Structure 1
Amino acid sequence: MENQETPKLGNQLCFPFYVIAKEITGMYRPYLEELNITYSQYLVMMVLWEFERLTVNQIGEKLYLDSGTLTPLLKRLEAKSYIVRHRKKEDERVVEVFLTEEGNQLQKKACIIPGKMQDKLNLSEDDLVALKETINKLLIKIESKK
């Protein structure tokens, strides 16, 4: 027989993750407003700064986003002249995304954000590494269950 006790918010693993994600995203907001981008756009830009040129599908895989969510983000970044999108000549169904010079310049401004966030969270480098390792282990377990 299943446990019939009413679920309690404080006993749920998902709730602290939800709150942390919401609060950390909010902590990024003032830094990202200076760059005129949202947190979601920042994630896209970080992937492009790392890999320079990716397809929409590759970006989606890295960020766990479907094309329906990603396409409006890319359109807004393109309107800000940070990226350009082109269909591949070999396969017009595939859209490649490239950084513009403005997008590359934005990277220089964004480099200060991780340090500011670490200071704001008041976590040591060791604490951050341990936390990221734990979260990544959980993500791997979740991915293996799909």
Structure 2
Amino acid sequence: MATRTEELDPLALERQVCFALAVTNRAVLAVYRPLLEPLGLTHPQYLVLLALWDNAKSKQDPLTVKQIATLLQMDSATMSPMLKRLQTLELIDRSRSTTDERTTHITLTPQGVALRRRALKIPPAVVHRLGVDLAELEELHAVLTRINAAALAASRDV
């Protein structure tokens, strides 16, 4: 039988938020993988397309590589190979800005726009496969968004 001290061990693996998040991240991405494979996408590519689809809905100017990296909280250097692959798949176009050649604009191709219709099946399939109430997932999303904001703020204070 465990003692009270052992039950409250602050270094117990199962009590670590970082561990729970890491394990859950891998498990949830494993749920997405077979849903994205028929679309020919990896999860990071799917996230890029989500950002571009959102931007297209609001009919704003094309997103830049830097803007997409900021939205996805990724390093701009990580984006380049992924964007090249999406361009090879003919889902996006990359073009240099006419006012600043260091800036690359990313736009959806007609195929990229059309892929959104097929992707609409993914969120309900994920909810179904997880077997969790949509309200629970929305609550989890809100909590994770707050945790992410707090973690970003804390990392800036270091």
Fold similarity call, TM over 0.5: yes
**Structure 1 position 55 matched with structure 2 position 59:** no
Q: Secondary structure at the match of 2:95?
A: strand
In structure 1, what is the equivalent of residue 4 of structure 2? none
In structure 1, what is the equivalent of residue 38 of structure 2? 34
What is the 5 A alignment of 1:1-146? Answer: 7-52=11-56, 53-145=62-154, 146=156
Counterpart code for 1:128: L
Instruction: Return 5+ residue gaps in structure 1 as ranges.
Output: none
Instruction: Return 5+ residue gaps in structure 2 as ranges.
Output: 1-8, 57-61
**Counterparts of 1:54 and 1:112 in 2: how far apart (Å)?**
25
Deviation digits for residues 23-45 of structure 1 (CA, Å, limit 9, x no counterpart) = 11111011100000101100000
- Percent identity over the alignment? 34
Aligned residues: CA RMSD: 1.4
Larger Rg: 2
Q: Secondary structure at the match of 1:84?
A: strand
**Counterparts of 1:30 and 1:16 in 2: how far apart (Å)?**
23
Number of residue pairs matched by the alignment: 142
User: TM-score, normalising length from structure 1?
Assistant: 0.93
Shift in Å at residue 137 of structure 1? Answer: 1.2
Deviation digits for residues 35-80 of structure 1 (CA, Å, limit 9, x no counterpart) = 0010110000000011032000000000011111110000000000
**Counterparts of 2:10 and 2:124 in 1: how far apart (Å)?**
42
Counterpart code for 1:31: L
User: TM-score, normalising length from structure 2?
Assistant: 0.86
**Counterparts of 2:120 and 2:89 in 1: how far apart (Å)?**
19
Counterpart code for 2:12: K
The runs of 4+ residues in structure 1 deviating greater than 3 Å are 5-8
